[in-house]
Amino acid sequence: MEKTRELCALIAEDAEFGSLQKDVEAFFADDTARDSFRKVQEWGDELNQKQQAGLELSETEIKEFETARGALFENPVATNFLNAQQGLQALQGSIGKYVGMTLELGRVPTAEDMAAQNEGCCGGSGGGGCGC
């Protein structure tokens, strides 16, 4: 656990991670961006549910939603938040994959191990240590 804490400390001290965190914090501090994001997300969910229920969406509904979504993406606080979210999710996924492969292989994965894992795990390269 000590090494895990050291890794977490390194991540927390990383400048790029700090920048992503600042973008997230700026978003949560901006009521307008948060409300706009929430409304667009809820509206999108409603339209999706309606569509999955077999109901047809009107041109007006689609156009109004696209206009609201476009306005959201014009807000730099909201777009920075969305980009930060993607960056943090990618970082978390990479770390999880790396640690998972270490546990599976019993050693630190090489670049080749990681490339084989990215090729689809069970797709022709002998399994890539994924348990196939």
Q: How far apart are the first and last CA of the chain?
A: 29
- Alpha carbon 63 to chain centroid, angstroms: 27
33 CB neighbour count, 10 Å cutoff: 20
What band does 124 get if pLDDT is binned at 50, 70 and 90? very low
Give the pLDDT score at 125: 43
Report d(CA 77, CA 91) in Å as an integer: 21
Q: For the stretch 43-81, what's the b/e string if a residue is b when 16 or more beta carbons lie within 10 angstroms of its beta carbon?
A: eeeebeeeeeeeeeeeeeeeeebeeeeeebeebebbebb
Greatest CA separation for the chain: 57
Give the pLDDT confidence of 35-83 residue by residue, as tens digits.
999 999 999 999 999 999 999 999 999 999 999 999 999 999 999 999 9
Average pLDDT across the chain, whole number: 90
Report d(CA 42, CA 7) in Å as an integer: 37
Residue ranges of domains in the chain, CATH in brackets = 2-92 (1.20.1500)
Share of the chain above pLDDT 90, in %: 83
Which of 48, 82, 40, 46 minimizes the C-alpha distance to 65?
40
